[in-house]
Amino acid sequence: QKEVEQNSGPLSVPEGAIASLNCTYSDRGSQSFFWYRQYSGKSPELIMFIYSNGDKEDGRFTAQLNKASQYVSLLIRDSQPSDSATYLCAVSGGGADGLTFGKGTHLIIQP
Q: Which residues bind another protein (CB under 8 A)?
A: 8, 31-32, 34, 42-46, 49, 51, 88, 90, 92, 94-104
CB of 13 to another protein, least distance (A): 22
Please tell me whether the peptide bond between 111 and the residue prior to it is cis, using omega within 30 degrees of 0: no
Burial of 5 (0-12, 13-18, 19+ CB in 10 A): middle
CB of 96 to another protein, least distance (A): 4
Q: Of the two residues 52 and 111, which places its CB atom closer to another protein in the complex?
A: 52
Q: Of the two residues 17 and 46, which places its CB atom closer to another protein in the complex?
A: 46
Q: Of the two residues 45 and 58, which places its CB atom closer to another protein in the complex?
A: 45
Give the span between the Cα atoms of 4 and 26, in whole angstroms: 7
CB of 19 to another protein, least distance (A): 20
Q: Of the two residues 25 and 34, which places its CB atom closer to another protein in the complex?
A: 34
Backbone φ, ψ for residue 81 (5° rounding): -55, -30
Give the span between the Cα atoms of 24 and 72, in whole angstroms: 6
CB of 111 to another protein, least distance (A): 26
CA torsion 66-13-43-35 (nearest 10°) is -10
